[in-house]
Amino acid sequence: MSSLKVRDVQKRLKNLGNKEYAAVSRRFFKTGPGEYGEGDIFIGIRVPVLRKLASECKDLPVSEIEILLRSPIHEERLIALLLLVHTFKKGDGDIKEDIYDLYLESTELINNWDLVDTSAEHIVGAYLMDKNKRPLYRLAKSKNLWDRRIAIMATFHFVKRHGFSETLKISKMLLFDRQDLIHKATGWMLREIGKRDLRAEETFLKEHYKKMPRTMLRYAIERFPEEKRQRYLKGNI
């Protein structure tokens, strides 16, 4: 059993913090009044440094990881998610279920795009791979921006295994979403489908591209030849 405690990780994180980079992070992750990351606290640690520390702390028990996940400090929540992903991957069925349940019970804490994108496919997508996908549709209908991003980003796990149906269904649900971060994530997942099966992506696009948010469309067609991109952007497909 590991003797590592959450206070040990928190102490190391505190020592790694950088005030100048924290200020950059606050601007980058939109923590100002009315912005999507309003009020989040950063101590200023770059992601590669966090990943290295997570690899050194991978035996931290889930009960201790949960304390980090509930922290007001962004980097503590991010390292918690990195550790949960690691523990999920190596765990048995019971551990996977426990981490999946903890994740869905804690989505209010997974409240920025980097937190979602680091974890959703590896925990939610991986857990639901061979199960009923209904939880994804509940998330996609949520009023919470991050729940909806979790829904579409979780499907990346399926896309990487050439399973596109859930991504396409949820993309259709999110066509009229008002949030730019949802437009970006959805367009990204459509682009990922196209990298594996261009026909599947274009079948979806030809039906929906004229009503898609511009950002979603731009992300979806980013890898297309310029002439084809322009036809989509001008509505001439």
Q: Which residues pair with 73 in a beta bridge?
A: 41
Q: By the 8 A CB rule, do 178 and 145 touch?
A: no
Nearest CA to 204 out of 168, 228, 235 is that of: 168
Q: What whole-number distance in Å separates Cα of residue 8 and Cα of residue 2?
A: 12
pTM above 0.75, yes or no: yes
In the CATH hierarchy, which fold is given to the domain comprising 1-92?
ARM repeat  fold (1.20.1660)
What pLDDT was estimated at residue 61? 94
Mean pLDDT, residues 3-24: 94
Residue 145 CA: distances (Å) to CA of 59, 176, 207: 32, 13, 25
What pLDDT was estimated at residue 1? 45
Domains 1-92 and 132-237 share a fold: no
Nearest CA to 216 out of 207, 208, 228, 224 is that of: 208
pLDDT in tens, 15-43: 999 999 999 999 999 999 999 999 999 99
Mean pLDDT, residues 210-223: 97
What's the whole-number average pLDDT of the chain? 96
CATH of 132-237, one of 3.30.519, 1.25.40, 3.40.50, 1.10.150: 1.25.40
Q: Is 41 helix (H, G, I), strand (E, B) or coil?
A: strand
Q: Quick one: DSSP state of residue 209?
A: G
73 φ/ψ angles, rounded to the nearest 5 degrees: -90, 125
Query: What tokens appear for 130 in the block?
Result: 């061979």
What pLDDT was estimated at residue 2? 59
What sign for the dihedral angle of Cα 161, 165, 168, 173? negative
100 pLDDT band, cuts 50/70/90, is very high
Q: What whole-number distance in Å separates Cα of residue 22 and Cα of residue 2?
A: 31
Q: What whole-number distance in Å separates Cα of residue 66 and Cα of residue 39?
A: 21
Q: By the 8 A CB rule, do 65 and 84 touch?
A: yes
179 pLDDT band, cuts 50/70/90, is very high
Q: What whole-number distance in Å separates Cα of residue 107 and Cα of residue 104?
A: 6
Is residue 237's pLDDT more than 90? Answer: no
Q: What whole-number distance in Å separates Cα of residue 206 and Cα of residue 118?
A: 31
**Domains of the chain by residue range:** 1-92, 132-237
